Amino acid sequence: MKITSLYPLYTTNDIDSSLIRWSRIGFQERHVIETPDYTVHVLKNEAGEKIDMVYADFAYEESFFAIRMNVDNFDEGKDFLLSSGYAEDSSLFTCSFAKFKVFKHIQNGTKVILIEHIK
């Protein structure tokens, strides 16, 4: 398994306030990915640091931060997380360009969103 990128992801039900808050510290929206179930706003600052802001009112009642972990092999990534103390915390989501699942660490509650882009 190769990790192709690793950076913060914030899931919220209040996307407008979140976008305003992050723009105040230099993050600008670079592009938006829309699906029927969720919308991803990809933000980047001048230093090239990224954060994804995800509006998804179907998955969680409260906003949360997670680590977005893009991998080249979903099954190997899943095995790695499960063997590292994480448990599955959502269903598998798929769309035309990616599949992803939320994992939560059993002891400390840290969340990782495992993503593989479909080629």
pLDDT tens, per residue, the chain with 119 residues: 999 999 999 988 888 999 999 999 999 999 998 877 788 999 999 999 999 998 876 556 678 889 999 999 999 999 999 999 999 988 887 777 789 899 999 999 999 999 998 87
Calpha distance 33→102 (Å, rounded): 18
Phi, psi values for residue 35, rounded to 5°: -130, 170
Domain of 86: which CATH number? Answer: 3.10.180.10
pLDDT the model gives residue 97: 79
Lookup: tokens for 29: 């929206």
What range defines the domain where residue 50 resides? 3-117
Total domains in the fold of the chain: 1
